[in-house]
């Protein structure tokens, strides 16, 4: 049993703290957001993540998991302090490290016992060294034993608990092997592959991994666009490609492009780091441009189907950036809604989990109770997020209640032929059809 404090109770921090508590450790999670901590202490989750509320509840009841806003309370006898605060995009695309700085300063100001500081936030290469400098500057005891370990997080929102408990790998970077080994012991119950490396390499592994996954999506989106021109179906193309073990099926779904709290900011930050250091990251730049273009193409498709978008009613199914989360950061749906509104369209939308978050940022969008209310009187329906509950909606009913039967399936979840047979004008992404096919 170790004593662990986790700084930041967002998607990463709350899951990390809860899972470490579930493995038998004594965990205190700290956040500066009073509302968050008050709610957590009442058993109310600040985010939607499947299975999280129950796991938090179990571990709080078992006395292993606590929430506080008080740094001294969180740090007082911690062996490890995990930093899991946000690192959003700064003005030029660089990662904004202000929250990391604040957290490290707050810890350094009060700690009086040996501590391993573990960085889980996604931070630019070199941040571990910078963190050590800040710590030394603010720590009152110059002889205090203090180590920095980079431990980038790879969990996916929507399956975060499973991913934490069943990681493909745990990456640990440090200039101090013993500190890295101590952190690796925290993960030993998971029986995961553990890669111990230096600080900078660990930091780079996170960026390179996210950039690679974003590249796969942009790649298949580019193939999708070529498929549309040539009359092939990208869904089957991706299936055929993925059967090759060297390629695999993951992250080969053509759609409206990647979004979320990680890929956009991380690819941008990696590009920024590269340019700043004299590299020419042409592939990363193309990956981002293809992603932007993917959304433009969706707008062009609807313009083509509807003529002018002004005064047309567009229904959006799904607002979160992907299914099984309420996270709307950099969601393609929100971006498209703003662009449709700029062209004078009238917007309606529904999402199974993201409506409370969406309400805070969307203006003049009618938020509906289900897909059918969205479809009522709509000139077009755009599927933006691949939630399970959209997969088998009643299209006969939808056909009757829409003003015009136009569907843009932005995640390729529906059968084009079925929808066409019901009288819809169906657009997918990359679903060209040649005359003798389908
Ligand atoms: P988030 O925005 O959901 O949560 C961050 C939390 O940190 C907030 O609750 C905020 O109030 C808190 N915070 C900010 N400053 C603080 C401070 N000084 N002291 C204490 N708490 C503070 O962020 P997230 O999505 O959990 O991401 C955290 C980090 O993990 C980011 O660097 C992100 O890139 C990385 N990451 C995220 C994911 C993901 O799927 N969300 C996956 C892997 C890595």
Ligand 1, atom nearest to 33 Cα? 11
Three-state DSSP class for 193?
A: strand
The string of DSSP letters for 308-332 reads S-TT-EEEEE--SSSTT----TT-H
Q: Is the CB of 323 under 6 A from ligand 1?
A: no
Three-state DSSP class for 302?
A: helix
**Distance from Cα 83 to the centre of ligand 1, integer Å:** 8
Kind and range of the H or E element at 149? strand 146-150
Q: What is the mean pLDDT of each run of 10 residues along the chain (438 residues)?
A: 97 98 98 98 95 98 98 96 96 93 97 97 96 95 95 96 98 96 97 97 98 98 97 97 98 98 96 96 98 97 96 98 96 97 98 97 97 98 98 97 98 97 97 63
**Distance from Cα 12 to the centre of ligand 1, integer Å:** 6
**Distance from Cα 428 to the centre of ligand 1, integer Å:** 34
On whether the CB atoms of residues 117 and 104 are closer than 8 A, the answer is yes
Q: Is the CB of 412 under 6 A from ligand 1?
A: no
pLDDT value, residue 434: 60
Q: Is the CB of 86 under 6 A from ligand 1?
A: yes
Name the active-site residue from 19, 29, 262, 368: 262
- In 3-state terms the chain splits into helix, strand, coil percentages (rounded to 5) of 45, 15, 40
**Distance from Cα 136 to the centre of ligand 1, integer Å:** 24
Q: Please choose, from the candidates 284, 269, 302, the residue with its C-alpha nearest in 3D space to the C-alpha of residue 383.
A: 302
CA 138 to chain centre: 33
Separation of alpha carbons 284 and 60, rounded Å: 43
Does 19 qualify as catalytic in the annotation?
no
pLDDT value, residue 225: 97
Q: Is the CB of 57 under 6 A from ligand 1?
A: no
Separation of alpha carbons 135 and 109, rounded Å: 8
Q: Is the CB of 105 under 6 A from ligand 1?
A: no
Q: What is the 3-state secondary structure (H, E, C) of 371-438?
A: HHHHHCCCCEEEECCCCHHHCCCCHHHHHHHCCCCEEEECCCCCCHHHHHHCCCEEECCCECCCCCCC
**Distance from Cα 102 to the centre of ligand 1, integer Å:** 13
Q: Which residues contact 54 (CB under 8 A, 6 or more apart)?
A: none
Helix axis angle for 199-230 and 127-138, nearest 10°, is 140
Probe residue for ligand 1, chosen from 86, 122, 124, 207 as the CB with the greatest number of ligand atoms within 8 Å:
86
The pair of structure tokens assigned to 60 is 């709080």
pLDDT value, residue 235: 98
Q: Please choose, from the candidates 174, 213, 214, the residue with its C-alpha nearest in 3D space to the C-alpha of residue 194.
A: 174
**pTM of the predicted model as reported, rounded to 2 decimal places:** 0.95
The pair of structure tokens assigned to 119 is 């960085």
On whether the CB atoms of residues 161 and 130 are closer than 8 A, the answer is no
Q: Is the CB of 48 under 6 A from ligand 1?
A: no
CA 247 to chain centre: 23
Q: Is the CB of 30 under 6 A from ligand 1?
A: yes
Separation of alpha carbons 6 and 18, rounded Å: 10
Burial of 344 (C-beta count, 10 Å sphere; 0-12/13-18/19+): exposed
* Cα angle: 146, vertex 149, 150; to 5 degrees: 150
**Distance from Cα 88 to the centre of ligand 1, integer Å:** 9
H runs (alpha helix) in 111-198? 127-138, 160-165, 177-187
Q: Is the dihedral of CA 392, 398, 400, 404 positive or negative?
A: negative
pLDDT value, residue 433: 73
Which DSSP symbol is given to 105? H
The pair of structure tokens assigned to 27 is 């965990």
Separation of alpha carbons 271 and 437, rounded Å: 41
Separation of alpha carbons 360 and 353, rounded Å: 14
Q: Which residues contact 227 (CB under 8 A, 6 or more apart)?
A: 233, 234, 237, 430, 431, 432
Q: How many CB atoms lie within 10 A of CB 424?
A: 21
Q: Is the CB of 122 under 6 A from ligand 1?
A: yes
Separation of alpha carbons 103 and 345, rounded Å: 44
The pair of structure tokens assigned to 79 is 């062996």
Domains of the chain (ranges plus CATH)?
3-197 (3.40.50.720), 242-427 (3.40.50.720)
Which DSSP symbol is given to 188? G
């Amino acid at each position: 049993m170790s004593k662990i404090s986790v700084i930041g109770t967002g998607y990463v921090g709350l899951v990390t703290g809860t899972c470490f508590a579930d493995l038998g450790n004594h965990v205190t999670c700290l956040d500066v957001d009073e509302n968050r901590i008050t709610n957590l202490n009442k058993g109310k989750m600040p985010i939607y993540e499947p299975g999280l509320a129950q796991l938090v509840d179990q571990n709080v009841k078992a006395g292993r998991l606590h929430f506080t806003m008080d740094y001294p309370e969180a740090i007082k006898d911690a062996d490890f302090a995990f930093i899991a605060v946000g690192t959003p995009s700064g003005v030029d695309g660089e990662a904004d490290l202000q929250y990391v700085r604040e957290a490290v300063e707050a810890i350094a100001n009060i700690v009086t016992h040996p501590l391993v500081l573990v960085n889980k936030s996604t931070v630019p290469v070199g941040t571990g060294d910078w963190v050590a400098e800040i710590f030394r500057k603010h720590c009152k005891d110059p002889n205090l034993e203090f180590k920095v370990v980079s431990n980038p997080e790879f969990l996916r929102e929507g399956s975060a608990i499973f991913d934490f408990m069943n990681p493909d790998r745990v990456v640990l970077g440090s200039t101090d092997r013993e500190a890295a080994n101590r952190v690796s012991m925290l993960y030993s119950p998971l029986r995961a592959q553990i890669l111990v490396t230096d600080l900078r390499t660990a930091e780079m592994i996170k960026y390179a991994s996210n950039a690679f996954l974003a590249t796969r999506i942009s790649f298949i989106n580019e193939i999708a666009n070529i498929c549309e021109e040539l009359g092939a179906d990208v869904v089957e193309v991706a299936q055929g490609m993925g059967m090759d073990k060297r390629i695999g099926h993951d992250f080969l779904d053509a759609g409206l492009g990647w979004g979320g709290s990680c890929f956009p900011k991380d690819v941008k930050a990696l590009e920024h780091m590269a340019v700043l250091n004299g590299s020419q990251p042409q592939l990363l730049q193309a990956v981002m441009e293809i992603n932007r273009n993917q959304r433009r193409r969706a707008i062009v498709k609807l313009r083509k189907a509807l003529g002018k978008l002004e005064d047309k009613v567009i229904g959006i199914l799904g607002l979160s950036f992907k299914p099984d989360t309420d996270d709307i950061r950099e969601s393609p749906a929100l971006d498209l809604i703003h662009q449709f509104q700029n062209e004078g369209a009238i917007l309606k939308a529904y999402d199974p989990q993201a409506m409370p978050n969406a309400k805070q940022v969307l203006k003049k969008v009618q938020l509906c109770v289900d897909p059918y209310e969205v479809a009522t009187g709509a000139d077009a329906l755009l599927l933006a997020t691949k939630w399970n509950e959209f997969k088998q909606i009643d299209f006969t009913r939808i056909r009757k209640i829409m003003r015009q039967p136009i569907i843009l399936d932005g995640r390729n979840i529906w059968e084009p032929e079925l929808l066409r047979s019901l009288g819809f004008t169906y657009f997918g992404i990359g679903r060209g059809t040649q005359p003798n096919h389908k």
